[in-house]
Amino acid sequence: MISLALAYLRDRPLTTALNILLLAIAVAMLVLLLQLGNQASERLEGDAEGIDLVVGSKGSPLQLILSSVFHVDQPTGNIPLSSLELLRADPAVARAVPLALGDNFEGYRIVGTDSSFGEHYRTEIAQGRAFDAPLEAVFGATVAAETGVTLGQKFVGSHGFAEDEADEQGHDHAPFETVGILAPTGSVVDRLILTSYESVWDVHGIDHDHDHADELESEERNDGHSHDADHAHDSEHGHASGHDHSGEAAEPDNPPEQSRRGSILQASDSDLEPELTALLVTYRSASGAIRIPAMVNRQTEMQSAVPATETARLIDLMGASIDGIRLFAWLLAATGGLAIFVALLNMARSREGDLALLRVMGASRVQVIATIILEGVITAAVGALIGWIGAHLLIVVAQVNSATLADLGLKAWSPAAGEFALIAAVLAIGAIAALLPAVRVYRTDPARVLARN
Amino acid sequence: MQLTVDGVTLSYGDRRVLSDISFSLNPCEQALLLGPSGSGKSSLLNIISGLQTPDEGSVSLGGADMADDGDATRKHHMGIIFQTLKLVSALNVRANLLLAQKLQTGGVDRNLVEATLERLGIADRAKARPFELSQGEAQRAAIARAVVVRPKLLIADEPTSALDLVNTESVARLLIESAEESGAMLLIATHDDRLRSYFARTISLSEGRLAA
Ligand SMILES: Nc1ncnc2c1ncn2[C@@H]1O[C@H](COP(=O)(O)OP(=O)(O)OP(=O)(O)O)[C@@H](O)[C@H]1O
Ligand SMILES: [Mg+2]
């Protein structure tokens, strides 16, 4: 019966090909959407994992998250180094990772940070060692593989975030040295080059006191109380005094302290002191979520953004258009089903004689109907298969040709969970499309057909 | 195996098409069912092959009443050549024969298929699709399709109506030879008087009644 169904399909190649094409396009679109939806949101969530808050300069919060968590957009601006100290001193903060962005090497971002970065992303060194001295750099796994960098190799970063800017503004005077390569993490880190933030200042010719930076860090580590840290603690413990409640959930603030702190930060800003781009903050306790953003946002030149919120907004944003495309794809699939239906109905009419002959030759009703339903299902199955393969090939091609798409982390050959359901649905469309023509054939009396001929 | 038609009566609405038809065929007997157009030949053949049920009367083949399990009896023991429907359109001639064997006997006998194609002179058309065949070739292919299932009763409805004299003669001969070869009874319905000479027995049908 299968060979008979195939024979009938081959008998009208154009119609069959057209129906298959319709379904293939629909399936390809749906698979791509599934892959994009699943893997992109998985990837977004993975990269943002453990980051409760991002602190950066004022601007679009989405842009802040994109640039400092996903490393895809331009940073919003700079924040003073002292903000790192301020946040690290806060007891509600478990970890604050500094980021100094601004340069790239062959299109891969150079991220100035410190050892807390590795702690946060749980990186492991595959070769060499962590960066230590200024201008030492550690490569993420993907960057290392793509650029073919080796330990000890020197390289020069260029200003900006895209490769083609290299010619205009190379930092020839301060070459980096590769001291380590990270093991793959499956996260955004694979595509980054890590160095100390002092190194980033060095290549930009920003004067800074290495000792001072070290001092800040050691102070923090010793739980030493610098002036900022003191204030931070004061405000923490000062809630009993509780004037100027700003919002029901927020803890009480101390306006004089706040303004003093602000002035310190402002001073550091206007001094053209070394700056950072953003801080990735992990809370120690839930109280941080209430107090820290409020505290940061009161600094006029800083803002805080919650990755989870912005990611959700981003997914919502994509979601609207994805929903539109998905609707279109399902309509296309339905059209494919309709085309199969029309083709089979026409066929059932023109083939009445054939089917009557089959019945006379002893084929049971079930066998004859099975032929027709098989035709629908085979058409749908071939369409689904071609569409599925096409979609995955497209992903492979896209990954080869576009770093941005590769960055989205689409896994070309790992079927998303929904894909099986999708293919089952398309097969069902094929079967349903064949059902009515099949019923029609079921009702036909071979004797009548023979009598009519 | 014997075919017995006993008191078959059929009406379409108020119109009586067949009235009290009774006759029988002995094993290996060959007969011509002769009658003008509209005399009820096709209707009678459909009743004999169990595709239609008579209003009254019965048909039995080898003692099995067609009213009981006509589908199985037809499937296992009959080879039928229809007036216009000859082959399954999507399959070539050989595939048609193989499909008929598979459906009717449950197995495939390729040697018999090739021998039959050879004997009917259409071996070179084995790969042709039905629409590529001439009327004569199509009729031969239909005979081949009916014969390869080794039937006990070979039925043909107007097998020569679309053919010229030369082809009419050869098709009639082939039907007779094929029936003899497979030891089958042969019943041919036609309005064509020319076939009378090939058959020892002629059953004449006129306005739904047997004539003497
Ligand atoms: N399904 C039907 N419904 C109503 N009348 C029918 C039907 N089938 C056949 N008839 C009528 O019954 C009569 C006998 O038809 P049948 O096809 O048996 O004749 P026939 O002898 O085979 O004719 P022909 O030589 O033209 O094939 C005709 O008058 C025909 O119009
Ligand atoms: Mg007739």
pLDDT of residue A255: 39
B44, B75, B129: best to mutate for the A interface, most A CBs within 10 A: B75
CA pair distance A35, A396, nearest whole angstrom: 12
Give the Å distance between the CA of B210 and the centre of ligand 1: 16
For residues A300 and A262, is the Cβ–Cβ distance under 8 A?
A: yes
For residues B3 and B153, is the Cβ–Cβ distance under 8 A?
A: yes
What is the residue extent of each domain of chain A?
2-43+314-452, 53-305
User: Dihedral of CA A168/A171/A175/A178: which sign?
Assistant: negative
From A152, A48, A162, select the one nearest A110 (Cα to Cα).
A162
Looking at chain B, the whole-number percentage of residues with pLDDT higher than 70 is 100
Determine whether A152 is exposed, middle or buried from the number of CB atoms within 10 Å of its CB (0-12, 13-18, 19+): exposed
Atom index in ligand 1 nearest the CA of residue B13 equals: 4
Residue whose CA lies nearest to ligand 1 atom number 2: B12
Give A-chain residues touching B85 at CB under 8 angstroms.
Answer: 353-354, 356-357, 449-450, 453
From B50, B142, B5, A333, select the one nearest A341 (Cα to Cα).
A333
CA pair distance A127, A145, nearest whole angstrom: 12
B window 30-89, beta carbon within 8 A of A:
42-43, 46, 49, 51-52, 71, 74-76, 80, 82-85, 87-89
Taking CB atoms and an 8 Å limit, are A4 and B71 in contact across chains? no
Give the position of tokens 């299932």: B149
Tens of pLDDT, residue by residue, chain A (453 residues): 677 788 887 877 888 888 888 888 888 888 887 777 777 677 777 777 888 888 888 888 888 888 888 888 788 888 888 888 888 888 888 888 988 888 888 888 889 898 888 888 888 888 888 888 888 899 998 888 888 888 888 888 877 766 554 444 555 566 888 999 998 887 888 888 999 888 888 777 666 655 444 433 333 334 434 444 344 344 434 344 434 443 333 334 443 333 333 333 333 333 456 788 888 888 888 888 888 888 888 876 788 888 888 888 877 877 777 778 788 888 888 888 888 888 888 877 777 888 888 888 888 888 888 888 888 888 889 998 999 888 888 888 877 766 555 555 555 566 666 788 888 888 888 888 888 888 887 887 777 777 665
From B195, B116, B184, B120, select the one nearest B152 (Cα to Cα).
B184
Give A-chain residues touching B95 at CB under 8 angstroms.
Answer: 7
Ligand 1 pocket, residue B39 CB under 6 Å: yes
Tally the domains of chain B. 1
Q: What is the largest CA-CA distance in chain B?
A: 50
Give the Å distance between the CA of A342 and the centre of ligand 2: 33
CB hemisphere CA count around B119 (13 angstroms): 19
pLDDT tens digits for range B7-48: 999 999 999 999 999 999 999 999 999 999 989 999 999 999
From A108, A132, A81, A110, select the one nearest A278 (Cα to Cα).
A81
Say which CATH number the domain at B52 has.
3.40.50.300
pLDDT of residue B185: 94
CA pair distance B47, B58, nearest whole angstrom: 9
B211 vs A: CB within 8 A: no
For residues A305 and A58, is the Cβ–Cβ distance under 8 A?
A: no
Ligand 1 pocket, residue A451 CB under 6 Å: yes
Helix ranges restricted to H, A151-306: 197-203, 210-221, 227-237, 255-270, 287-298
Residue-range definition of the domain harbouring residue B196: 3-210
From A231, A196, A228, select the one nearest A85 (Cα to Cα).
A228
pTM of the model: 0.64
Pairing, β B153-157 against β B185-190: parallel
Ligand 1 pocket, residue B35 CB under 6 Å: yes
Both tokens of residue B84? 């216009």
For residues A78 and A276, is the Cβ–Cβ distance under 8 A?
A: yes
Q: What 3-state class would DSSP assign to B187?
A: strand
Nearest by CB: B85 against A7, A10, A353: A353
pLDDT of residue B124: 94
Of B196 and A262, which is predicted with more confidence? Answer: B196
pLDDT of residue B202: 93
